Amino acid sequence: MSSSLERELLSEIAKELSRGTRVDEALPRVLARLAALLGLRAAWAFAYDGRRRSYRLMASVGLPPALARRECHALRGGWCECQDQFDAGNMREAITIVHCSRLQRARGNKEGLAYHASVPLVSASARLGVMNIAACEQDAFSPETLRVLSTVGAHLATAMAREWHARLAERHAASLRELIALGRRMTTTVREADLFQTTADATVRLLRCEGGAVIASTGEVLAAAVSQTRAPRFYTYWPTEVTQQIRASLHAVALPRAGDQIQAPISPEVSIVAEDRTIGRFDETDQRILEAIALMARHALAALDTRRRHAEWRAVSERQTIASHLHDSVNQRLFSAAMFTHAAQAEIERDPMKAAQHLTKIRHLIDDARQELRQLASTLRHTDAPSVSNTIQRLVRDLADLPGLTVDIRAMTPVADIRLRPSARTALCRAMDEAVQNALRHGAPSHLDMALFEDKRGIKFVLVDDGLGFDPARVDGGFGLDSIRRQIEEEGGFVRWLSNPGHGTRCEVWLPMHSEE
């Protein structure tokens, strides 16, 4: 080949590889042009995976029927001499294989092909593959032809290395986006089992491996996921005894026969495991991604534990609140009713009129206790966040049945438009309930004035009564005041009471407004 023809060939190949297309897409055109200019018959190229010690057919041109049949089955599986030499590190320059092992084994019309030159595709940092150029005669591969093939192989290896680094950067960026989305999903998980299953599913998806699992330190499998997509199998040059030792050393969790496995701890008691049947499947990038998944699962687990503890504390607090309510109010009224019952029994024969008065007081005390129990049951009936609008309407209905009491309602902002997060909405509804009940229980009012409106980026509820009033400095809180204050302050709001003995009471409740989304 003349130097001008060689320069023309290398220029065309360089242009083809610099068009921005993938090497796999450009390679058939490169091989076809190379074979045509060298006067050769067929060409094919393999990509090499050093960790797995296996090869993937990248492209082929001009194959005889014996090699092209069944989607190039003869080139895709089994041992061959050139691959074995490259895997062993013995191939440093273009060499001639006198008898191609694949051509020897292939059945069918080989169109006279018997030899091929194997060109190592090696960059400065990695061994990337092998390119084979086939011919009918051994003397078709002159030293000059082999030199040209080596030069073309170097250009092709540079393009493959550049693409490999670009794909690695793309993978890192895609993994980062998926990890961010995964973190958001994990933070919304409300059950530990669901969190572990999400973690196992994410392991398979992000690492593109065949199996993932979350296991306890005892060996118990807490969650597992297996890919429904079967990865293609390639012939591996790992010695049989080595593969057997590797598989025997792994304690497979998600797969029946794992060839590679990596782990990352979520906590001292729980770990994530990623598995694949291919030996050498995982690299350092896979390990870092798995550690990132484990870190997010660890934070989500801690948040879940915090929410669980908070829910337990809220449940205890609710029980204490109910107990205080029953003790401070209902129990006192029932105790008073019992005392009046004894008094009525003592007077029923001696002074029937006085006994009748006692019975009237007993009836009022029991009616009051029933009202308070009904109110408490109504407040606790629903576990979902109550509606502010429905709570106000219910209060209006309940208060309308009380004799000698008038009620005014003012809502400067439509109640239906008020947007509070569910926990804050629950706190507000309970505060409104308790404020009204406290006013009726302790103030004996004849008039209530309720208002609900927006105020300084929040929602404000105001209840004013014309009852007996009290001295805030002389009141230690009790069930009602402490209950309201505790629940509202948990949501970032505040409660304020303004009162004087004989001049009624003003209760103000403020909560910050939040979007439920």
The total domain count for the chain is 3
Burial 456-479 (b: 16+ CB within 10 A, else e): eebbbbbbbbbbbbbeeeeeeeeb
> Could you give the residue ranges of the DSSP H alpha helices within 19-142?
23-38, 65-76, 81-87, 101-105
Same domain, 154 and 220: no
Last residue of a domain, one of 305, 325, 353: 305
Q: Which residue do the tokens 């690492």 mark?
A: 207
Q: How much is the average pLDDT of 353-379?
A: 79
**What pLDDT is stored for residue 416 in this prediction?**
45
CB-based contacts of 217: which residues, under 8 Å, 6+ apart?
A: 268, 269, 270, 271
- From first CA to last CA, the distance across the chain in angstroms is 71
pLDDT in tens, 182-229: 988 898 888 899 999 999 999 999 999 999 999 999 999 999 999 987
CATH number of residue 508's parent domain: 3.30.565.10
Same domain, 161 and 202: no
Assess whether pLDDT exceeds 80 at residue 179: yes
**What pLDDT is stored for residue 172 in this prediction?**
83
Mean pLDDT across the chain: 84
Structural domain span for residue 236: 169-305
Same domain, 273 and 151: no
Last residue of a domain, one of 144, 167, 190: 167
CB 129 within 8 A of CB 113: no
Q: How much is the average pLDDT of 473-480?
A: 60
pLDDT-derived band at 479, boundaries 50, 70, 90? very low
Domain assignment present for 378 = no
CATH number of residue 245's parent domain: 3.30.450.40
**What pLDDT is stored for residue 404 in this prediction?**
82
Same domain, 48 and 150: yes
Q: Which residue do the tokens 């429905």 mark?
A: 390
Same domain, 29 and 159: yes
Same domain, 268 and 130: no
Same domain, 102 and 14: yes
Same domain, 187 and 220: yes
- Asked which of 86-100, 288-302, 410-424 is least confident by mean pLDDT, the reply is 410-424
Assess whether pLDDT exceeds 90 at residue 390: no
Same domain, 77 and 122: yes
Q: Which residue do the tokens 């025997």 mark?
A: 248
**How much is the pTM?**
0.60
Distance (Å, rounded) from C-alpha 191 to C-alpha 197?
Answer: 10
Last residue of a domain, one of 238, 271, 305: 305
pLDDT in tens, 267-276: 999 999 999 9
Same domain, 8 and 132: yes
Same domain, 155 and 51: yes
Q: How much is the average pLDDT of 15-43?
A: 83
Collapse the DSSP code of 446 into the 3-class scheme (helix H, G, I; strand E, B; otherwise coil) and give the result. coil
